[in-house]
Amino acid sequence: MNASAKDLASLLPPGFTLGVATSAFQIEGALDEDGRGPSGWDVFAAKPGSIVEDHSPAVSCDHYHRMPEDVALMKALGIDSYRFSLSWSRIQPGGSGPVNPAGLDFYARLIDLLLANGISPMATLYHWDTPLPLDEAGGWMNRDTAYRLGDFAAIAAAAFGDRVTRWVTVNEPATVTTNGYALGMHAPGEALMLKSLPSVHHQLLGHGLALQALRAAKVQGEIGITNVYSPMVPATANPLDAVSAGLMDVAQNRLYADPVLLGKYPDVIRAATFFSSSFSPSSEDMELISQPLDFYGLNYYMPTRVGAGPGEGAVPPGMAEAMGDDLSGTPGAPFHIAPFPDTETTAYGWPVKPEYMSVALAELADRYPDLPPVYITEGGASFEDVVVQCVGSDRRMVPDERRLRYLADHIGTALEATRPGGAAEAVDLRGYYVWSFMDNFEWSAGYKQPFGLVHVDFDTQVRTPKASYYWLQEVLAARNAAPAAQPAGGQQDGAPAAGQQDADGQNGGVADVGEPSPAG
């Protein structure tokens, strides 16, 4: 795939959304300000040894105080849409009960500024930062948390339902269960292994209740859920590896997608005898979970190569080091993740395999005949960036060619795959959001894994757009310079909602903001 901005722009179908993504806990800082309550992640991150080098999320990108500056950088980039998450603890500090007006006000200002700049808001209700009182009551192991998320959705809908273009109910429940409840690498730090299954069902139920609340409030925007999806590749032709890859596929992909898109858990899960009594999905629950969606959010980062037996470790190679942990050799593990031979890896050790983007989309189309339109709600890569200070000037550059190529290859592959005649032509692909807009607090890896289009100096808070930012800016400019074509369908970015939004053709925004250029 060619990384030329013009070539990629020529592949973009009319109406295709290009956006950037972040989440509240990873960028905002200001954890104790203006009435925000603590989240389970505040407590987990403060425990020595939980985060690499004990990095603290207390300030992070200081986005809470620098939001207008960050939106100005988005505007100058020229993106159609910004995906962010609402901090539940900022809006409803106790996870239930009273609402914090200052929390609502922060997101009202963000949303209004986005709209004034022609950028469509995509708001995620739950991106992992559970209010602490809910975590203390069992978090997602407790069914009540699902109802609390439904209530939170109603609060968000009342406040922003007239202005948000797209809603994501829950982000990557698979990661919350695997890292937070099965392995203990994320908040709330539980290592329950298979006993973590109720946390799957309760998150999906939370999705269903949130969806129901948004619909009841008649929000203007489209509604979906975001699941991560990783095609599973048997390590060798050994049939045991194929069985292992199939099990991983169930554990990481189907367990989360089937209930939402097919209304049932995978057979192997339903048949398993290890269900605890608190995990007994009723038909009412399954109906809530499988309500029709306006779109399906897909996070694609990489495929996973799976071998039978304990192997090297339970996490991707490189991840263990990145986390400063020795997770190698998991005695008794039924299968393991193996490296792809001769394959470039990111700083996390994740394999760079754009061709599997096409596989992921084709598998989704194949498995889910009624798949709604798809947004790729996250994709991106961490690489060790170098900030170059130019001699004799205060100009700074970040030549992140590998990230730029990762994005060009993945977006290009997704577009090719979903064209008529492509491997995933049945998928109605509507957009791609780059993870991430700026470097941020990468959960247990702290500030060690930068994914941003914009470099953040965490000592000075100076933002420096990287080469990948300027490349994406060029893609958007080239697309906008092409003769206008009629969009295919769906809710368009910047389209008026309830008479509140400024109308905007793609990137016809109006606010007067600074324009970074490669010359800095």
The residues that touch ligand BGC, with contacts defined as CB under 6 A, are: 23, 26, 171-172, 175, 228, 299, 378, 435, 442, 451
Buried b (16+ CB within 10 A) or exposed e, 143-157: bebbebbbbbbbbbb
Nearer to ligand BGC, 241 or 378 (CB): 378
CB of 106 to ligand BGC, least distance (A): 20
Question: Which of 154, 85, 156 minimizes the C-alpha distance to 123?
Answer: 85
Rounded to whole angstroms, the Cα distance separating 472 from 478 reads 10
Residues 26 and 442 sit within 8 Å (Cβ to Cβ): yes
Nearer to ligand BGC, 18 or 174 (CB): 174
Pairing of strands 396-397, 388-389: antiparallel
Nearer to ligand BGC, 435 or 469 (CB): 435
Tokens of 262: 């097919």
Long-range contacts of residues 497-505, Cβ cutoff 8 Å, at least 24 apart: 497/162, 497/163, 497/164, 497/165, 497/220, 497/221, 498/162, 498/163, 498/220, 500/115, 500/162, 500/163, 501/115, 501/163, 501/165, 502/115, 502/116, 502/118, 504/118
Q: Is 341 exposed, middle or buried (0-12, 13-18, 19+ CB in 10 A)?
A: exposed
Rounded to whole angstroms, the Cα distance separating 378 from 355 reads 16
Catalytically active residues, by annotation: 172, 378
Nearer to ligand BGC, 5 or 407 (CB): 407
Angle made by CA atoms 87, 208, 22, in degrees to the nearest 5: 30
Q: Is 513 exposed, middle or buried (0-12, 13-18, 19+ CB in 10 A)?
A: middle
Nearer to ligand BGC, 120 or 179 (CB): 179
CB of 382 to ligand BGC, least distance (A): 7
Tokens of 282: 């009723």
CB of 172 to ligand BGC, least distance (A): 5
Give the residues across from 82 on adjacent strands: 20, 121
Tokens of 22: 């972040």
CB of 442 to ligand BGC, least distance (A): 5
Rounded to whole angstroms, the Cα distance separating 164 from 185 reads 33
Nearer to ligand BGC, 189 or 505 (CB): 189
> Residue 21: how many CB atoms within 10 A of its CB?
28
Give the residues across from 396 on adjacent strands: 389
> Residue 108: how many CB atoms within 10 A of its CB?
14
Rounded to whole angstroms, the Cα distance separating 3 from 400 reads 13
Question: Which of 227, 115, 225 minimizes the C-alpha distance to 160?
Answer: 115
**Per-residue CA distances from 274 to 198, 220, 268 (Å):** 11, 42, 11
Nearer to ligand BGC, 119 or 228 (CB): 228
CB of 179 to ligand BGC, least distance (A): 9
Nearer to ligand BGC, 93 or 316 (CB): 316
Residue 276: partners with Cβ closer than 8 Å, 6 or more residues away: 195, 197, 198
Nearer to ligand BGC, 375 or 435 (CB): 435
Strands (E), 62-140: 81-85, 120-126
CB of 128 to ligand BGC, least distance (A): 7
CB of 169 to ligand BGC, least distance (A): 14
How far does CA 37 lie from the centroid of its chain? Answer: 23
Strands (E), 366-513: 374-378, 388-389, 396-397, 429-435, 454-456, 463-465
Question: Which of 151, 109, 164 minimizes the C-alpha distance to 495?
Answer: 164
CB of 275 to ligand BGC, least distance (A): 26
Nearer to ligand BGC, 435 or 437 (CB): 435
CB of 23 to ligand BGC, least distance (A): 5
CB of 206 to ligand BGC, least distance (A): 16
Residues 472 and 480 sit within 8 Å (Cβ to Cβ): no
